[in-house]
A and B are shown apart, each in its own frame.
Chain A
Amino acid sequence: MQLTVNGKSYDVNVPSDMPILWVIRDKLGLMGTKFGCGAAQCGACTVHLDGQGIRSCVAPVSRAEGKEIVTIEGLNDTLSKPLMAAWTEIDVPQCGYCQTGQIMAAAVLLRDNNNPTDQDIDNAMSGNICRCATYQRIRKAIHLAAELKKSSS
């Protein structure tokens, strides 16, 4: 099967029901996308499929055929730069395990919404669990990233 991940094309030989998460991690060795629940409950595995945030732990790889997968390793600079800068400034992570999923979810929000309100953040981010409960900082970092993104464009 032909897959496009972070702009690179890969030929993978996997069963079509294998979730995208395990193709990315076990076959392509991209370890930034995490496994938290395997049941679309926590968002640790969030990647972008043709620009949409998806739960890669339940999305079979067959869904990605002919489409573009983007993982944390390939997030474009327009979104990655303000997000990374904001996450750094606010010092968001604790254990860090959920954070790449949080950032990938926040990236979709930020791309579509230049001025996310607290309510927008609740709506966009409540699918992503942080067991360390860094939510308050994630919220702050998203507001800051929105500012940074505006001022750089």
Chain B
Amino acid sequence: MSNAQLIDRRKFIRSTALAAGGLIIAFNVPAGIRTRGVVKEPVLFAPNAFLRIGSDNSVKIILSHCEMGQGIWTSLSMLIAEELDADWKSLQVEHAPADIAYYHTVYATQRTGGSSSLNSEFDRYRKAGATARYLLVQAAANRWKVAPDDCQTANGYVVSGDKKISYGELVTDAMALPAPADIPLKDPKDWKIIGGKIKRLDTQEKIKGTAVFGMDIHFPDLLTVMVARVPVNGATVTGYDEAAALAVPGVRQVVKIPTGVAVLADDFWSAKKGRQALKVQWDLGAAANISSDSLFTEMKARADKGGIVATEEGNVAELFKQSVTKVEVEYFQPFLAQSPMEPLNCTVKLSADKCEIWTGTQTQTDDQHAASEITGLPISQVFIHTCFLGGSFGRRNITRSDFVREAVEVAKASGKLVKTVWTREDDIQGGRYRPAFLHRFKVGLDANGMPVSWDQISVGQSVMTGGPFEKIAVVNGVDTFSIEGMQAVPFIKALKNKKIAVNTPDWPIMIDNWRAVGMSHTIFAMESLIDEMAYAAKKDPVAYRRLLYKDDARLLKVLDLAAEKSSWGTPLPKDHGRGIAAFKACGSYVALVAEVSVPKNGMVKVHKVTCVVDCGTAIQPDGVVAQMEGSVGYGLSAALYSEITFKNGQVQQKNFYNYPILRMNEMPEVNTYIVPGNEPPGGIGEASVGQMMPALTNAMFAVTGKRIRNLPIYKMKMGNA
């Protein structure tokens, strides 16, 4: 969207919000939940789409991005509050409705993802605050007949000499003033909020249990829906018998929808029992032949065959032949489910002229379009109420809005006010998975152990094909996310003899975003391989990386600091070892050192993880630390246990008992160090997930001398499931 359009749009928002309070009304939380966001009758000053200042001194921030745990509820609000000089304690925060005004500055739809929120909003949100402050100061100056330059602001007041007035008292005057064309921002050295010790704004409601997640939406006449979903991707319903389901007390209706058969009931339990009683016949379709073993074999065959070249330079074969030491390895990583803590759900209220949707989503515009397409209503009549997301990790950032689409289909087919609820089994089996990947390398090292030739083939499904970013992400048939981050590594860029290719199977397995996307698997391959190269070169893994990363000052810095903080190289007790991994991800540089012990015939224990991150400007430092800790846990879960497998097209895992998640007793001590920086903020929610996996296996190698090239480390026994 051009700036001119943006400005027009803001004017529009301003006038409609003021005239009708229309945008505000859209925030009303349904009765029976609670009354967050219901504004009585203060005069509201809406200098832009992101901010409402009330004559009652309320300051409301309207977030174009969604809160799923990553902390933008707080950190984005800090950007506005900083420039506004707002009273931090008076802030209220809400999710924005679906509206073009809230489009992502880069993605051009309303979307939260790619760890991009802070980076993309860094200027826009600060400007939103600065513009409001400018107008309020101007209003006070006019009132007092002083120059704006003689006014100061702090904590929601304008002050000049002995005069002092609250922002609330100025809103009517400020509204009448023209917005400035452009506005200077504070010098970072004057920041009081950004970079400060600020606590999260959503903690209270989350610990008291009053935070509203999609799952908590309730209306008196709402029916809970459970869908008997296709057991195999691409299967179709050939028939069903609803009698037994309808006989379950509390079950109200059974309807067929494109993804299966939906049971509508008074409550969750009745819906679940109804679904159990329902008899559905399926045509399982072609995907019923899929099994993990044959997929794995096929991946190897594809790697043998070669693929589409992403980069090729020099004479790889010849240099490899001449090289002193040869490293030939491959790494396999399985399909993974995101399994956010809150299972998917979506509430839909559909009437003749509008469709209202309550859910936790990362993709409001896509959802709005999907609902419009299904209902035939104009997009302007589809209203999205974004609730808190009980985690997502990409599951709520899905091409074609699968779970929203399905709920709208149920509402349309049934004519009822419905909330679809997925069980944990539905979540794990009806997933949009991180694709399995095989990365195979042939690397030749010179007499000093440094790489002279690099031959790589990466085999796995394309996440971006068919999605909103296909045009940018898929270049000449190569999904750059299949090798995400690898080509950008400076020593690879500098290599004169290299070939990186991808082979992209088109399997009927639903895949999509999973925390860190491509880097959830490329970093494991890369940082395991570099460890192997270090050992092949008979060099210490940190010392070797220093040589490799010499042209990347920020990566070198986190590497060095991680080595220092973890006391790299100092003696450890028997059976203990350290492993390192360092990589640039989502605009941030992260080095992790894991300290583990591996007893003979026992399972690994991760004692400590040292994490060093350079994310440029750290807006809310404690939030950065929290994301590092969480990503360590998320990465460890995946490396240790996580694996989705298929048998006859069906996912074999069902619940946390065979798709285990890291628990309290397995969580290492994590010590995080933030490298101070003043570059624009990098992403933090995904920046350290990928490094955790090789840091762990590299540490295990240091103890056992056994290299782990296949994840997960521990496989669940699936029996005959």
Contacts and interface: CB of A to CB of B under 8 A. Distances in A.
A88 B69 contact: no
Interface in A27-61: 27, 29, 31-39, 41-42, 44
B216 A31 contact: yes
B662 interface: yes
Given A26-B267, A31-B218, A100-B207, A95 B664 contact: no
Nearest to A94: B69
Nearest to A104: B209
B70 A94 contact: yes
Nearest to B220: A29
A126 B663 contact: yes
B384 to A, nearest CB: 19
Interface residues of B, number: 66
B667 A136 contact: yes
Nearest to B67: A95
Given A41-B657, A137-B626, A129 B207 contact: no
Given A88-B207, A129-B663, A95 B269 contact: no
A131 B267 contact: no
B218 A131 contact: no
B605 to A, nearest CB: 12
Contacts of B633: 130, 132-133, 135
B424 A135 contact: no
Nearest to A85: B207
Contacts of A25: 268
Given A35-B343, A39-B656, A91 B268 contact: no
A105 to B, nearest CB: 10
A95 B112 CA distance: 15
A15 interface: yes
B423 interface: yes
B664 A37 contact: no
A148 interface: no
A91 B516 CA distance: 24
Contacts of B33: 31
A50 B393 CA distance: 37
A19 B391 CA distance: 24
A99 B389 contact: no
Contact of A32 (B208, B424, B634, B665): B208
B202 A96 contact: yes
A94 B340 CA distance: 12
A39 B659 CA distance: 13
Contact of B200 (A26, A41, A93, A126): A93
A128 B453 CA distance: 48
Interface in B194-208: 199-200, 202-208
B470 interface: no
A64 B421 CA distance: 25
Contact of B626 (A39, A94, A97): A94
Contact of A34 (B203, B389, B390, B632): B390
A95 B341 contact: yes
Contacts of B537: none
A136 to B, nearest CB: 5
A121 interface: yes
A132 B203 contact: no
B622 A91 contact: yes
Nearest to A60: B269
Interface in B1-40: 32-33
Contacts of A95: 67-69, 340-342, 388-392
A98 interface: yes
B703 interface: no
B661 interface: yes
B209 A38 contact: no
A32 B209 contact: yes
Contact of B341 (A73, A84, A97, A103): A97
A95 B206 CA distance: 8
A147 B390 CA distance: 30
Contact of A131 (B215, B340, B388, B669): B340
A36 B340 CA distance: 9
A11 B208 CA distance: 25
Contacts of B661: 42, 129, 131
A65 interface: no
Contact of B664 (A72, A131, A135): A135
Given A91-B200, A136-B629, A19 B209 contact: no
Interface string B365-398: 0000000000000000000000011111100000
Contacts of A94: 69-71, 391, 626-627, 630
A77 to B, nearest CB: 13
B3 to A, nearest CB: 34
B207 A35 contact: no
Interface in B585-641: 622, 626-627, 629-634, 636-637
A138 interface: yes
B310 to A, nearest CB: 33
Nearest to B212: A31
Contact of A26 (B210, B268, B423): B268
B209 A100 contact: yes
Interface in B384-427: 388-393, 421, 423-424
Contacts of B266: 26
Contacts of B622: 91
Given A15-B249, A38-B655, A94-B627, 4 more contacts: A31-B215, A34-B213, A42-B341, A122-B665
Closest 6 CB pairs of A and B: A32-B209, A133-B633, A96-B206, A97-B390, A95-B69, A94-B69
21 contacts: A18-B267, A22-B267, A25-B268, A26-B218, A31-B212, A32-B209, A33-B209, A35-B343, A42-B656, A92-B207, A93-B69, A94-B630, A95-B388, A96-B202, A99-B207, A100-B209, A123-B665, A126-B665, A130-B633, A132-B630, A136-B629
